[in-house]
Structure 1
Amino acid sequence: MEAAHLILDFSHVYCDEKIPKKEHVYWLDCSDIEECDLYCSERAEKEILARIEPYGIHGIHFLDSGNYHYVTGIMTEKIQQKFSLVVFDHHTDMQKPMIEHMTSCGDWVRKVFLKNHWLQQLILIGPKESDIRQVYDELSALGKREELQKKLITFSTEEICSGEDKKKIPKIQKNVPFYISVDKDILDEKYSETNWSQGKMSLPILEQLLSYFLESGNILGVDICGECQQGIPLPEYLRAEEINAKTNQKLFEFLTYYTK
């Protein structure tokens, strides 16, 4: 079955980016789904899953702004085999849940790590070292030290900049497929303007890091989020959309080279 690429349009931001229509790219209007901005209720999660269901996860998927990054967790619920999740993000998205029975853009990675029994490794790339230390401290307090040693591989922005990240690469298991999720807030504002604080990574460096996993040829799916803030002044909004549209197009072309 040929991969189906998806655009999940929650805020109509992609309409403003003038994303061109392409073969095997399916535009899913999700703007009518309630209880899904930042926090996702169980009802909204079921509706999102139902809309994804006909297409599966084997493709490249655009998820709108970082407010909807939790959709990656919904995608991985469909994986019924051992896999590793690779997350490129300026934030850990492993906060303690603020609202019970709801998944948020800030805690979805933690939920996958603790509850998805198919997950072999979580490879988290891009947060600050201080944020990563907080994750280890909190999970250790839960008695998850053994799981942390086996399942959590982190590459802080400081390690990437210094080259220390290379020492951890041998820890990555390559005998299971990868699902890759990219939040463009990992990028410098030259390449993307998002509605969250951003890192300083260049697009060429991101592509270089992605290629390590893509060259394995064992990719279950890829998703991308990180669009701009809604409601900002029009000139600023148009500029942001122009920047984001160019980067989305470049990432799509780069990823389809490896996943076609």
Structure 2
Amino acid sequence: MKPYHLILDFTHVYDDEICADREQFSWIDCSDIEGSNLYCSPQAEREICRRIEPYGVHGIHFVDSGNYHYVTKIFTDQIHSPFSLIVFDHHTDMQQPLMEGMMSCGDWAGMVLDQNPALQQFILIGPAEDDIKQIRTKHLDKLITFSAEEIRKGEGVERLKRIHGGVPLYISIDKDVLSEQYSETNWNQGELTLGMLEHMLQYFLERAPVYGIDICGECSTAIALPEYFQAEGVNGKTNVELFRFLRSYCCS
């Protein structure tokens, strides 16, 4: 199936960021969808599903700030054959739900792990060790984690042997896993360099086919104008680099 590269535009943060590659994207304006910021109401989820359905899951998808990282669950809900989910994120996004019947940017990953019958493994890369210890799930056997501390010390390599080979992947990247030199987000951030992130991505991309990839972690549009222009410039440069690095794997 032909991949469609998408921009899901919730806050108009992308207006100037990736204009050099803009013609390669289908642009989906989501700014009018109520009940979608941080928490996603059932009505908002249905509307997002309706807007992305014509494009399918294949391709590279930019999904705005980390407030909308739950869109990964909406994409992966479209996958009905076995797959593994690789998530790069400085947070686990596996908190216990705070509002009944409302998916959020803080609990969507736990929902995928516990509810998606096609999911074979969930590989989570980048949160702090203390945050990983707080994960509560009935499917710990499917979860493989690599903490920020392990990555910094070069530990945990032996755990790679537990990852099933050949299972198709869906990859989700929250740029808050990167240091502020490479990304400025609206959440606290990790310490990865862009080169380290691409090196780890390459390890997985060369070992299994890819259903699709999404990228979030844009800055808030509510910050002061000078800081916003700086953040937009940093994020735009990283977005362009990630897109050009990933598309050869996602489009072959």
Please give the range of the TM-score, normalised by the shorter of the 2 chains. over 0.9
Describe the SS at the equivalent of 1:20. Answer: helix
Query: Which residue pairs with 2:107 in the alignment?
Result: 107
The answer for unaligned runs of 5 or more in structure 1 is: none
User: Percent identity between the aligned chains?
Assistant: 59
Q: TM-score, normalised by structure 2?
A: 0.97
1:40-59 alignment, distance < 5 Å: 40-59=40-59
1:15-164 alignment, distance < 5 Å: 15-17=15-17, 19-135=19-135, 138-139=136-137, 144=138, 147-148=139-140, 150-164=141-155
2:166 touches 2:207 (CA, 8 Å); kept in 1?
Answer: no
Among 132, 148, 157, the alignment partner of 1:166 is 157
Residues 51 and 35 (structure 1), Cα distance of their counterparts in 2 relative to 1, 3 Å cut: same
Distance 1:71 1:168 in 2: 28
Runs of 4+ displaced beyond 6 Å: none
Distance 2:25 2:57 in 1: 13
Distance 1:108 1:7 in 2: 20
Distance 1:108 1:208 in 2: 26
- How many pairs are equivalent? 251
Describe the SS at the equivalent of 2:241. Answer: helix
1:3 touches 1:24 (CA, 8 Å); kept in 2?
Answer: no
1:162-241 alignment, distance < 5 Å: 162-241=153-232
The answer for unaligned runs of 5 or more in structure 2 is: none
**RMSD of aligned C-alpha atoms?**
1.1
Q: CA deviation at 1:164?
A: 1.2
| Residue identity in the other structure for 2:171 | I
| Residue identity in the other structure for 1:114 | D
1:214 touches 1:258 (CA, 8 Å); kept in 2?
Answer: yes
Query: Which residue pairs with 1:13 in the alignment?
Result: 13
Distance 2:113 2:179 in 1: 27
1:60 touches 1:222 (CA, 8 Å); kept in 2?
Answer: yes
2:166 touches 2:208 (CA, 8 Å); kept in 1?
Answer: no
**Deviations 1:191-215 (Å, cap 9, x if unpaired)?**
0000000001000000000011111
**Deviations 1:77-98 (Å, cap 9, x if unpaired)?**
0001011111000000000000
**Deviations 1:104-123 (Å, cap 9, x if unpaired)?**
00000000011111111010
Describe the SS at the equivalent of 1:46. Answer: helix
Distance 1:104 1:233 in 2: 26
1:35 touches 1:41 (CA, 8 Å); kept in 2?
Answer: yes
